[in-house]
Homo-oligomer: A and B are copies of this chain.
């Protein structure tokens, strides 16, 4: 059972709303923390969020270190996170350019190293998010929690963290052991559920309780590793756009209490 006050709504869950609408609806529903994505931001977003009294748990996303222009774009992402008061910039690290996964992983490590001083200057922690291995070709060569932790540990000043997203890591037979060694390294915890059958590699996620992830157990392991920060609900599924907004947020709050 996670303290309901720790719920943060990752706004990809409601990407069919404008940021202003999401802020207003969250404030009304009693959700005090949000996590926007960069494409949802404009020049007034920081003020909109602040004026509504909401906190920001993270900004999603920087990364894509294997793409041209990544350094400039990542510095801009750090600046945006700082403007929003987001303590963490989530890194989706980028896919291999061709068949060489080891080279991609080295490129990612070097990119984080270059970005780190700039992030530290802005008071933003970098959070490496391992994605599900089915996303290796399009989104991330970093596909296991163990790999993300090893990478995070290779930087110690300032510390780099990892983002534990239940959807991306629940399948891993090494998960318990990796989390047992993750104290101090968890910079965020995301929840959703894995539907059976899963029919879409990107946008087929379920609301907590509708799938096969043992979220209470995973949440316990994350807590045992010392993480007590915001817990983002991030459910990427276009069918949610058909649910009336008040109903959707009430359902998310109820499921967070019951199934996360």
Contact = CB atoms under 8 A, between A and B. Distances in A.
Given A99-B213, A105-B173, A146-B173, A196 B132 contact: no
A196 B134 contact: no
B134 A99 contact: no
A111 to B, nearest CB: 17
Q: Looking at A147, A196, A212, which has the most chain B CB atoms within 10 Å of its CB?
A: A212
A81 B99 CA distance: 36
Chain A binding surface, main DSSP class: loop
Nearest to A133: B171
Contacts of A72: none
A194 interface: yes
A152 to B, nearest CB: 14
A179 to B, nearest CB: 14
A23 to B, nearest CB: 33
Contact of A137 (B143, B172, B198): B198
Interface string A11-22: 000000000000
B194 A137 contact: yes
A96 B99 CA distance: 32
Nearest to A214: B99
A201 interface: yes
Interface string A96-109: 10111100010000
Nearest to A196: B137
Nearest to A215: B99
Nearest to A209: B99
A172 B99 contact: no
Contact of A133 (B95, B99, B132): B132
23 contacts: A95-B196, A99-B213, A99-B214, A101-B170, A101-B171, A101-B214, A133-B133, A133-B134, A134-B198, A136-B171, A136-B212, A137-B194, A137-B195, A137-B211, A137-B212, A138-B197, A138-B198, A143-B173, A144-B172, A144-B174, A147-B173, A198-B201, A199-B201
